[in-house]
């Protein structure tokens, strides 16, 4: 996992170490609201929850899939899964400035390529297989793509990825099966955001 990359588009390649640290320090000092990562297998409800949190709190919402599509941040095409391959370095370059300012909620089904320093908390949404199967099928998932995503949830692949990529104490699992689960998660996350702002300002 990339722990602390130097982003050429935001820090000139010729900048000295002290200049880089100064820039980074200025960004950190200005961060008055937390950065949140919402991750989990496709179909667990990340986008619905993120949009509602952003609406209620004023946090900036970034859907990494949409960002990549708009900027064509791809490095190829996966024939087996019939989907483009994300150019992770370009995505990080694109997001760096906004993440440094704070107050961002990021929505993506993978999490191990983001810089660890970006996030104050990581939520992994989990959904029971019966619910997930129906959701993915309604999206048009089928065959290997459908089965692999179900297996990913069964073996808690995304949770393990998050635990190995970020400090254990900032990674939290949340059940996301029903509308009641979403409301409970929404309330808990908003309370956490409010407390973080109170503690850090």
Please state the residue numbers annotated as binding site for ATP: 43, 45-48, 139
141: exposed, middle or buried (C-beta count within 10 Å: 0-12, 13-18, 19+)? buried
12-38 burial: b if 16+ Cβ within 10 Å, else e: eeeeeeeeeeeebeebeeebebbbbbb
Contact 107, 62 (CB under 8 A): yes
Q: Output the known binding site.
A: 43, 45-48, 139
Residues in a beta bridge with 39: 124
Handedness of CA 21, 27, 32, 34 (dihedral sign): negative
DSSP 59: P
């Amino acid at each position: 996992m990339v722990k602390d990359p130097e982003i050429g588009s935001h820090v000139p390649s010729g900048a000295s170490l002290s200049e880089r640290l100064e820039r980074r320090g200025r960004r950190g000092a200005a961060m008055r609201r937390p950065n949140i990562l919402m991750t989990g297998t496709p179909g667990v409800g990340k986008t619905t929850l993120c949009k509602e949190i952003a609406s209620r709190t004023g946090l900036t919402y970034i859907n990494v899939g949409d960002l990549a599509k708009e900027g064509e941040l791809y490095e190829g095409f996966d024939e087996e899964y019939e989907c483009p391959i994300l150019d992770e370095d370009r995505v990080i370059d694109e997001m760096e400035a906004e993440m440094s300012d704070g107050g961002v909620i990021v929505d993506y089904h993978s999490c191990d390529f983001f810089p660890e320093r970006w996030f104050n908390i990581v939520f992994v949404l989990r959904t029971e297989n019966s619910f997930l199967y129906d959701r993915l099928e309604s999206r048009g998932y089928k065959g290997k793509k459908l089965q692999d995503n179900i297996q990913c949830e069964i073996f808690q692949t995304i949770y393990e990825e998050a635990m190995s990529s970020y400090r254990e104490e900032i990674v939290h699992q949340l059940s996301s099966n029903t509308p009641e689960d979403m409301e409970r998660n929404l309330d808990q996350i908003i309370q956490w955001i409010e407390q973080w702002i109170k503690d850090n300002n």
